[in-house]
Amino acid sequence: MNPFVKRLLQNTTKTIMSKRKLNDYAGFEKVLKEAKNIVALTGAGISAESGIPVFRGAGGLWRNYQATSLATPEAFRANPSLVWEFYQYRRNVAFNAQPNNAHKALAILEDECKRKKNNFAVITQNVDGLHKRAGSEEIVELHGALDKIICTKCKHIEVNLDSPVCEALKDRGDPNNLNQEPIMIKDLPKCKKCDSLARPYIVWFGESLDPQVMEKARNLVENCDLCLIIGTSSVVYPAAMFAPSVLERGKPVAEFNISEEPANEGFTFHFSGKCGTTLPKALGIDL
């Protein structure tokens, strides 16, 4: 076959497959009604609609720093004051943000599942706490949480909702305030158990996910009969592993993302547009 014709046929087939999956609300409604174990995997896209910056990738700057370069154990060892200022800024943004309709729809779906004696859980790559504030209870936070700190010595984890996280960080973290004097280590957040230096409870680049958290997430994914992929590219670990494993078991995967095309041609459904609009519509929730 002529290579040009072959390529044309392949592209045409791909387009037909994509159109069959795009925005099929009626088809998804039938699948949703039959599902007994639902898992939602959420990423930065769902919180971007609440004004949470996406630091990964181009443009992810805080002051003159690539934000991802501060999210490492090496950066914290070298300059804990600077890293804590960055996370004070992130905490301020997250604590002042409000859950959007996508977060709220998932919390309502969880309530509906409980009434029907079905299972539902959110597995999130986000650290902003918006799912919890929206009312979700069954949440697995893969990458930690901004409202928690962990001791660098005894590894004690505690919830810290103080703003600022400690007095020395008051009025610090503004992206435009450059060349401030570093905060002394003794004045940075401390562990309430052993009084050692604490750090944000965040899984940084170069660190492994908590094995217990991963095991819980893996069990949820392996037992679900419907997987929702919301606001994530599905090409970054662990989304890159979770969704294909659901498809391999012959179970449906529905993607909600701003992109017009599915991240994976094997996804059963793809809903393009803002998650705060498409997700409530697909779930039949009027907000």
User: What is the Cα–Cα distance from 160 to 144, expressed in whole angstroms?
Assistant: 13
Q: Is residue 199 annotated as involved in ligand binding?
A: no
User: What is the Cα–Cα distance from 142 to 124, expressed in whole angstroms?
Assistant: 6
Single-letter amino acid, residue 265: E
The predicted structure's pLDDT at residue 234: 66
Residue whose tokens read 């999130």: 124
Domain boundaries, the chain: 24-52+99-143+208-287, 54-96+145-202
One fold for 24-52+99-143+208-287 and 54-96+145-202:
no
Q: Is residue 258 annotated as involved in ligand binding?
A: yes
The predicted structure's pLDDT at residue 181: 92
Q: Is residue 68 annotated as involved in ligand binding?
A: no
Burial of 245 (0-12, 13-18, 19+ CB in 10 A): middle
Summarize pLDDT for 160-171 with one digit per residue, the tens.
999 999 999 999
pLDDT higher than 80, residue 73? yes
Q: Is residue 231 annotated as involved in ligand binding?
A: yes
The predicted structure's pLDDT at residue 58: 53
Architecture category of domain 54-96+145-202 in CATH: 2-Layer Sandwich (3.30)
Summarize pLDDT for 6-51 with one digit per residue, the tens.
343 344 334 334 444 788 999 999 999 999 999 999 999 999 999 9
Give mean pLDDT, residues 98-107.
98
Q: Is residue 89 annotated as involved in ligand binding?
A: no
CB atoms near residue 124 (< 10 Å) = 31
H/E segment holding residue 277: helix 275-283
Summarize pLDDT for 217-274 with one digit per residue, the tens.
999 999 999 999 999 976 667 667 899 999 999 999 999 999 877 777 789 999 999 9
Q: Is residue 113 annotated as involved in ligand binding?
A: no
Q: How is domain 24-52+99-143+208-287 classified at the CATH fold level?
A: Rossmann fold (3.40.50)
pTM (two decimals): 0.89
The predicted structure's pLDDT at residue 221: 97
Q: Is residue 128 annotated as involved in ligand binding?
A: yes
The predicted structure's pLDDT at residue 17: 42
The predicted structure's pLDDT at residue 239: 66
* SS (HEC) of 80-137: HHHHHHHHHHHHHHHHHCCCCHHHHHHHHHHHHHHHCCCEEEEEECCCCCHHHHHCCC
Q: For all residues of the chain together, what is the average pLDDT?
A: 90
Q: Which residue has the higher pLDDT, 92 or 58?
A: 92
Contact predicate 226/38, CB 8 Å? yes
Summarize pLDDT for 123-137 with one digit per residue, the tens.
999 999 999 999 999
Write out the catalytic residue numbers.
143
Contact predicate 227/253, CB 8 Å? yes
The predicted structure's pLDDT at residue 135: 98
| Strand pairing report for 144-151 and 198-202 | antiparallel
Backbone angles phi, psi at 37, to 5 degrees: -135, 100
Cβ contacts of 246 within 8 Å, gap of 6 or more: 221, 224, 227, 252, 253
Q: Is residue 126 annotated as involved in ligand binding?
A: yes
Q: Is 172 helix (H, G, I), strand (E, B) or coil?
A: coil
User: What is the Cα–Cα distance from 152 to 81, expressed in whole angstroms?
Assistant: 14
Q: Quick one: which of 175, 178, 141 has its CA closest to 47? A: 141
Summarize pLDDT for 185-229 with one digit per residue, the tens.
999 999 999 999 999 999 999 999 999 999 999 999 999 999 999
Q: Is residue 15 annotated as involved in ligand binding?
A: no
Q: Which residue has the higher pLDDT, 266 or 75?
A: 75
The predicted structure's pLDDT at residue 140: 98
Q: Is residue 201 annotated as involved in ligand binding?
A: no
